Amino acid sequence: MSDELRIKSLNDIKSLSIKERIFVVEEIWDSIMLSQEEFPISEEQKQLLDARLESHQRNPEEGKSWTEVKNMIQKHS
């Protein structure tokens, strides 16, 4: 999408096609990822992530791959 979008409000975004809205979201995400700011997580979030990592390390075959999850989502869409 080479044309620059002119967005001044949320309503402008809502009026875009789905393809254009996805483009806007990708641009926003890219700008966030380029930011050097850190996004701190709470102690509770850290504990949850640590517990999930530990669970995965104990049972790496448990759970589903991204491909499996994606396929399940697409089947139900």
**What is the total count of domains within the chain?**
1
Domain assignment of residue 61, yes or no = yes
Using the predicted structure, report yes or no on whether residue 41 has a pLDDT greater than 60: yes
Domain assignment of residue 2, yes or no = no
Distance CA 12, CA 30 (A): 20
Per-residue pLDDT at 2 = 45
Sequence-ordered list of residues with C-beta below 8 angstroms from that of 9, at least 6 positions apart, any chain: none
Determine what percent of the chain is predicted with pLDDT higher than 70.
Answer: 94
* pLDDT tens digit sequence for 11-26: 888 999 999 999 999 9
Domain assignment of residue 34, yes or no = yes
pTM over 0.75: no
Domain assignment of residue 5, yes or no = no
Using the predicted structure, report yes or no on whether residue 48 has a pLDDT greater than 70: yes
pLDDT higher at 73 or 1:
73
Q: Which amino acid is at 26?
A: E
